[in-house]
Structure 1
Amino acid sequence: MKQQTLAMAADQGAGFETKRKRTRRDEFLDTMNRIVPWSALCALVEPYYPRRGNGRPPIGLERRLQIHFIQHWFNLADLACEEARYDSTSLRRFVGIDLGGEAMPDATTMHKFRHLLEKHKLGEQIFAEMGRVLQASGMKLNSGTIVDATLIGASGSTKNEQKARDPEMRQTKKNGNWHFGMKLHIGVDSRSGLAHSAVVTAANVHDKHAIPQLLHGQEQRVYGDNAYASQKALIHGKAPKARDFTNQRTRRNGVVDEVARRKNRNKSRIRARVEHVFAVVKRLWGFTKVRYRGLAKNANRAFVTLALANVYLCRRHLLAQVRP
């Protein structure tokens, strides 16, 4: 058994800080530590992870993943994540860092690990693996899919070494305003509300073009907003048995079709579940703007973020299974 240092004892509250209150961050991290399938994710990344050799031994893979997920949960850049772990007792306890006997993994270490995930497209594999784990726990895909897309902003500044904006980002107009960045398209199960597919494109790509990649093919119904109206051919090309339940136009020649309006309202009660995923990704995790240049790097972040959002959304179901 590893000897406990004063630093570790202080972090764990063993005789120190007796008045310390458990925060919501403590509760959140404890919950995530219990329900994230660490062994399955480590097995996924392990074939690409550096082996122990003659040099400095690599940091444990599970710890690397824990630190990487902290960056997503709290929207932290590499250096900010390093400093946050020095400042926060909760974060150090979550990753098992004992400052009395070991050094904190620095920003460069996290930077290299992120590039490893990007190089081998492991973000997408983590998303898929998390989906398999959730399905095995009872969160099955049902007969309906909700498709939707959201804009993720990018910096329009040219004050950089290239003296230019990111060439892979584009601008688009929405609600009378111009936006520059990329677009995250997702397919969400209509019953569980969990994302099962995702596509990342430049912002100027129309929502409808991602439909075939967002359907799993066994749908009976496909829901979407007005951007997906009149796309039956695209839907049936991937899901032949699916009925088009996307919202349709309600105003023609200045006259409102009240029947179509009521139908849209009923569809929107189900379609609203896709907004729960976006709320976690953009409001809780803070993924409203890209952090890196290029679509591939930001797609890797998007897939990992969606995987973590799925776990968060069904946390009560997963906790019920891990309780003794």
Structure 2
Amino acid sequence: MRQDSFSDAGFEKYRKKTRKEQFLEEMETIIPWKELTAAIEPFYPKPEGAGRRPIGIERMLRIHFIQHWFNLSDPAAEEALYDSRSLRHFVGIDLGRESVPDETTICKFRHLMEKHNLGDQLFHLVNQYLQENGLKVSRGTIVDASIISAPSSTKNKKKERDPEMRQTRKGNQWYFGMKAHIGVDSRTKLIHSVVATSANVHDSQVLPDLLHGEETRVWGDSAYSGQAQAIADHAPRAKDFTQARGSRNRKLTDEDRARNRNKSRVRAKVEHQFGIIKRQFGFSKVRYRGLDKNAHRLFVACALSNLVTAKRVLLKRSVPRLQASCA
């Protein structure tokens, strides 16, 4: 347990623990820091000679996660750490002894993560950790996709839109950006598969990449209708529970609509994950140019969203361990 420094202790008689502090304490408890930092260690700079020693991996990873949880850019993350005592406490910074890592250091760590595709690795490590704690993937998968907007204006230095982003139409509305495709377990609501594409890629094109192959049921909205063969090829035992879609020549019957409503009760679980990623974490718009950088952000966001979803189960399992360590 960290000890508060004299500069942070203060004399705040009526201070109340905020929801942010409560959230950070919960994340502190349930995140497998040792395993995640071990994955980054082979790529992290080693101290050489008498120069300045690099900042610890875990500290930089904590700052990286803070950027995702609170939707902070590199400069905003530096400012937030100076401004918020709860964030400094989570990262382990004592302003009485040291300064906050500057925005350049934060940016370099993010680029290192992106260069070595460590977001994808962290996503799989988190899922492995969740399985070891009893949150295993079941026999049902819900597939869905959501558009993440990008700036469509050309009023920038290069006088052009991001060349890796595309536009698509949904209903009568046009969107420009990327698309996040996820496969979610129907029992635990955990994301087990993630794919990032430009917005013009149809949802059904990445369906095989969202299945783990052991499904007995696959749910999806009407964008995945007519994909029975693709489901059979990649999940032979799975039944197709995607939404039926009507057409001009074939109207949906009352029985079809009743089946769709029943399917929607299960399919709605995927929206919980998009709610965390886009509303709680603020990832409704891209922050960087290029698909790879934003795909890395998506992989890390999905890993952290899984931890938030599994928070109650993980906290219950951590209580006996904490009691034993205090004994």
Return the TM-score normalized by structure 2. Answer: 0.95
Spell out, residue by residue over 1:257-291, the C-alpha distance to the aligned partner (whole angstroms, 9 max, x if none): 01111111111111111000000000000000000
TM-superposed CA distance for 1:240, in Å, is 1.2
- Among 241, 244, 247, the residue aligned to 2:237: 241
Q: How does 1:153-192 map to 2 (within 5 A)?
A: 153-192=149-188
Q: Deviations over 1:31-53 (max 9, x none)?
A: 00100110010011111011122
- Take 1:259 and 1:9, find their aligned partners in 2: how far apart are those partners? 68
Distance 2:247 2:194 in 1: 31
Which residue of 304, 308, 311 corresponds with 1:312?
Answer: 308
**Residue of structure 1 equivalent to 2:120:** 124
Tell me what 1:26 maps to.
Answer: 21
Corresponding residue for residue 147 of structure 1: 143
Cα distance in 1 for partners of 2:250, 2:6 equals 71
After the TM superposition, which parts of structure 1 deviate over 3 Å for at least 4 consecutive aligned residues? 250-256
Deviation at 1:10, TM superposition (A): 3.8
CA offset at residue 254 of structure 1? 7.2
Give a deviation string over 1:151-206, Cα, whole Å, max 9, x none: 00000111222211000000000121100000000000011000000000000000
The Cα shift of 1:234 comes to 1.3
Equivalent AA in structure 2 for residue 243 of structure 1: K
Residue 197 (str. 1) matches residue 188 (str. 2) = no
Aligned length: 318
Checking the alignment, whether the CA contact within 8 Å between 1:10 and 1:16 is kept in structure 2 is: no
Listed as ranges, the matches of 1:34-45 within 5 Å are: 34-45=29-40
Q: Does 1:105 align with 2:79?
A: no
In structure 2, what is the Cα distance between the partners aligned to 1:62 and 1:46? 10
Checking the alignment, whether the CA contact within 8 Å between 1:208 and 1:227 is kept in structure 2 is: yes
Query: Does the residue aligned with 1:157 lie in a helix, a strand or coil?
Result: coil
State the match for 2:218 in structure 1.
222
Alignment correspondent of 1:48: 43
Cα distance in 2, alignment partners of residues 255 and 124 from structure 1: 42
Match of 1:293 among 289, 293, 315: 289
**Structure 1: how far apart are the matches of 2:115 and 2:6?**
39
Give how far 1:251 is off: 5.8
In 1, Cα distance between equivalents of 2:16 and 2:137? 40
Deviation, structure 1 residue 256: 3.8
Q: TM-score, normalised by structure 1?
A: 0.95
1:73 to 63, 69, 93: 69
Which residue does the alignment assign to 2:6? 9
Is the counterpart of residue 303 in structure 1 residue 299 in structure 2?
A: yes
Instruction: Please list the CA deviations of residues 53-78 of structure 1 after superposition, one character each: whole Å capped at 9, or x if unmatched.
Output: 22210111111110000000000000
Contact 1:250–1:261 under 8 Å retained in 2: no
Deviation at 1:124, TM superposition (A): 0.5
Segments of structure 1 that go 5 or more residues without pairing to the other structure are none
% same residue: 57
The partner residue of 1:258 within 254, 257, 282 is 254
CA–CA separation in structure 2 for the residues paired with 1:9 and 1:176: 59
In structure 2, runs of 5+ residues without a counterpart are none
Taking the aligned partners of 1:96 and 1:199, their CA distance within structure 2 comes to 34
**Which of 271, 278, 299 is the equivalent residue of 1:275?**
271
- Distance in 2, Cα, partners of 1:115 & 1:257: 53
* One-letter amino acid of the counterpart of residue 211, structure 1: L
3-state secondary structure, aligned to 1:287: coil
Indicate how the Cα distance of structure 1 residues 164 and 252 shifts in structure 2: closer, same or farther if over 3 A, else same. Answer: closer
How far the C-alpha of 1:252 sits from its partner, in A, is: 5.3
Which stretch of structure 1 is more off in the superposition, 138-147 or 45-54?
45-54
SS at match of 1:186: strand
